[in-house]
Structure 1
């Protein structure tokens, strides 16, 4: 059974229940969600959408974006997340690879990408937008009221979602592409992950095995991959507003009676700065998209004593891989990054690289042959109980004489020390010798000299840093706000 069919069936069972609460408080029932998805599917097929058609998707999280994405997949289309704000060269390269026949964007984005004054304003704010109406894409959909700049003949989402439509005669193809997600890569070689309805449906089931969900639960998140299992379970998805402040996020957890939430670790720290104690109704706090430092795990446990705090290890290509409790991670802080029992198939190559497989593995990379196993780039080992411990990224390995130093093996143990909030190890070429200087960067109030005296009891002698640098914060990038090691190297060079 496909992902869309499972959602439609759940909606048919509980049509009067609230499925979604938007950032502005609007409510959408399961019955209305079902009707709109079927109407959009019918309208897209009538407008000429064919199986496999790519839809460049530039609509921010909202009820409209959810309905439109589900309607596209139900019609046999493929939702393409290429991010028009990635920069002109990167966006052009991604567009060339994906070759979408449709574009779906907010009316405001069409206007901002086409009208001179609006485009100039966006450019002053550092946003270089392509002209979405002039990309050679034949079909357009706009979300929101018509604005100057919306291409002539573009289909209004409001019209697509209006009315009723017949039931599909079949469930669709679970093995057909459903979503294309651009991740890493360069302008010469962009990289995009292709997921099918089947791989996404398997991922949702793995989430639900570890994360009980059902009617009466309220999940507060803007993450689609947590929102979808919420809806398939008959629970309520609460979306925060766009540009939601940490204080407002915490307030909405209370007001909407959230039982589950998801945060990037750095975002949770900001939320706890605004509100040190989370609502008692909260039963699960999920952390993901970046490693969770020990200091944040301890704060999360203290802030939500009645909740289970879980850390999710996942990759765009296969999610989730493993889920560990905060207490488990703290108990294993000196052994590398403990991520728990694997939910997907795992093996470890001779050089220590983690290899993954399973029904939740993506189909592959756009333009490449299908994948049967994913080399992750993460170095790992299994402990005596078969649980996964990450030792760091292959590309981050530092060579110090005959000693191979994997930063990820030691950073969690250092971050667990009193006075250290976060820790990261990078190598910087020594200007005098050309050898690699090992630099430990930390945040927090730990004294570097006292910290240096404690390190031999925590990490291997070969991993002891040549220099310790205290920074106000570690540099981060991307939506997941992951550690940017290249930028960190630049920072520690300046601090030399």
Structure 2
């Protein structure tokens, strides 16, 4: 089984003079990248990081994030990805569950979450936890120059990186490497635990499945895509994120003339295509576009091929617990018969799949160890996905979710295929679809969105986000599932200990908006 960190370092040693990573105006060679990862691991070990220590990690994508994350894992530690935008209560609950001994963050985040500036951040819609005091007795690592709010004694990342030495521990495939929070509430946060082996298996499958090769010019802001690029000896370019955790679509445009492979979410690609429409003089040189993070639907594929006729498209299906699961060719996906489900491609080699009463069940070396709150007592042996599916050899077709389905006319609508895509649109914190029966039993479809900034106090169609979502949807989803109404809501109703979306309650709240819609002509 491949080891994540050792695979990257083997690439560094194989082509030391080749360009590895370009970001923020600088290009790092594989020699420089490998030396920095090894030095950071050595510095952390010397500073007291012990095998198994967890590090609460809030560093925006960039060279610092890449080398620090790999250095932590290489030294035997665990990276706990922490989204500071989750809100203070949820962030505290996640930190308590992860029980980190270390905190790594940018100096700017320490400053923004300090007492003088937290009220300003709150007025901008950010409920930041106080990073400097969040974890009692934690050791701190700062990325960037020292600013007010950085705890006394915090280790400077640049100093760790220039100390020399090689602190890489070979470890074992089952060593914990990564904790990713996926959902949950302040009472029951949910986190997936991956090992060095599961990450190595999954990211290796990804690199081979999308055609990563030495020297390929890869454009993405996603660490979990860029690291497979490094494993394959590619040249990874990261668009500038600015002050945001992810790059703005416009930041990609300046690189499209040189990049050969682009990875983006469907929502990001939609925004890139829209930006390209305003810049007809730009001629992307892309060979391949890789899409993931949400369903890839025919309208977006058609727009992509119309703008870039010679490009190849790969659509990746996976989930936090096991990524990737399957990879589809975009042209084949577009040519699939209508109404035949979502053809998500061929299973990658390391994944084993079976169908149990219609539900897709997965296992294999890329499967996560389990859920943090349930370990070590209940490790994952296989994953029940909740997706209805069919297998034809190694070809996988999704039929929707096990319980959630609406009917509009003669069309079955599975909201689980579309909700992640809508939730990925800029400004949307959460999203759900509700089916509200009309007088003849047909379902009116209403989309509820929770604005990331200035959510309303009651459901409304007057929020500015509503118009933006309505504008974006026709290019992203099938015409047959365009909603009759889009409504901004303060929060989605949830029920039970697991805080699962309560679709019945949601439909009741949205019924007046469905009744007010005038039918197909009102669809987004």
- For normalisation by structure 2, the TM-score amounts to 0.79
1:247 aligns with 2:247: no
CA distance in 2, matches of 1:280, 1:84: 34
CA distance in 2, matches of 1:30, 1:151: 33
Residue among 273, 280, 285 paired with 1:281: 285
1:398 and 1:469, CA in 2 relative to 1: closer, same or farther beyond 3 A?
closer
2:340 alignment counterpart: 335
Q: Any conservation in 2 of the 1:397–1:404 contact (CA below 8 Å)? A: no
Q: Any conservation in 2 of the 1:103–1:137 contact (CA below 8 Å)? A: no
1:129 alignment counterpart: 128
1:382 alignment counterpart: 391
1:222 alignment counterpart: 221
Aligned residues, how many? 451
Q: Following TM superposition, where does structure 1 have runs of at least 4 consecutive aligned residues deviating by more than 3 angstroms?
A: 276-280, 397-400, 403-406, 408-412, 440-447, 470-477, 484-493
1:304 alignment counterpart: 308
- Deviation at 1:348? 1.1
1:365 alignment counterpart: 371
Q: Any conservation in 2 of the 1:378–1:392 contact (CA below 8 Å)? A: yes
Residue among 353, 363, 383 paired with 2:359: 353
2:513 alignment counterpart: 494
- Deviation at 1:154? 0.6
- Deviation at 1:213? 1.8
CA distance in 2, matches of 1:491, 1:273: 31
1:416 alignment counterpart: none
Q: Any conservation in 2 of the 1:364–1:370 contact (CA below 8 Å)? A: yes
Q: Any conservation in 2 of the 1:334–1:410 contact (CA below 8 Å)? A: no
Q: For the aligned residues, what is the CA RMSD?
A: 3.4
- Deviation at 1:131? 0.8
**More displaced 10-residue stretch of structure 1: 27-36 or 274-283:** 274-283
2:211 alignment counterpart: 212
CA distance in 2, matches of 1:317, 1:59: 22
1:188 alignment counterpart: 187
Q: State how 1:5-404 maps to structure 2 within 5 Å.
A: 5-22=6-23, 24-116=24-116, 118-135=117-134, 136-166=136-166, 168=168, 171-242=170-241, 243=244, 244-254=247-257, 257-276=258-277, 279-332=283-336, 333-343=338-348, 344-350=351-357, 352-368=358-374, 369-383=378-392, 385-397=393-405
CA distance in 1, matches of 2:416, 2:132: 48
Q: Any conservation in 2 of the 1:341–1:388 contact (CA below 8 Å)? A: yes
CA distance in 2, matches of 1:488, 1:35: 53
Q: What SS class does the counterpart of residue 231 from structure 1 fall into?
A: helix
Q: What SS class does the counterpart of residue 347 from structure 1 fall into?
A: strand
Q: Any conservation in 1 of the 2:104–2:141 contact (CA below 8 Å)? A: yes
**More displaced 10-residue stretch of structure 1: 362-371 or 324-333:** 324-333
Please list the CA deviations of residues 267-293 of structure 1 after superposition, one character each: whole Å capped at 9, or x if unmatched.
Answer: 111111111477453111011111122
CA distance in 2, matches of 1:102, 1:274: 41
CA distance in 2, matches of 1:146, 1:126: 25
- Deviation at 1:491? 6.0
CA distance in 2, matches of 1:446, 1:130: 34
- List runs of 5+ in structure 2 lacking aligned partners: 420-431, 448-469, 493-500, 516-524
CA distance in 1, matches of 2:275, 2:343: 29
**More displaced 10-residue stretch of structure 1: 82-91 or 174-183:** 82-91
Q: What SS class does the counterpart of residue 484 from structure 2 fall into?
A: strand
1:474 and 1:31, CA in 2 relative to 1: closer, same or farther beyond 3 A?
farther
- For normalisation by structure 1, the TM-score amounts to 0.83
- Deviation at 1:233? 1.1
- Deviation at 1:405? 5.7
Please list the CA deviations of residues 366-391 of structure 1 after superposition, one character each: whole Å capped at 9, or x if unmatched.
Answer: 131211100111111224x5421111
CA distance in 2, matches of 1:137, 1:53: 13
1:407 alignment counterpart: 414
Q: Any conservation in 1 of the 2:75–2:167 contact (CA below 8 Å)? A: no
Q: Any conservation in 2 of the 1:101–1:139 contact (CA below 8 Å)? A: yes
Residue among 418, 438, 441 paired with 2:443: 438
CA distance in 2, matches of 1:303, 1:495: 35
Q: What SS class does the counterpart of residue 227 from structure 2 fall into?
A: helix
Q: State how 1:457-468 maps to structure 2 within 5 Å.
A: none
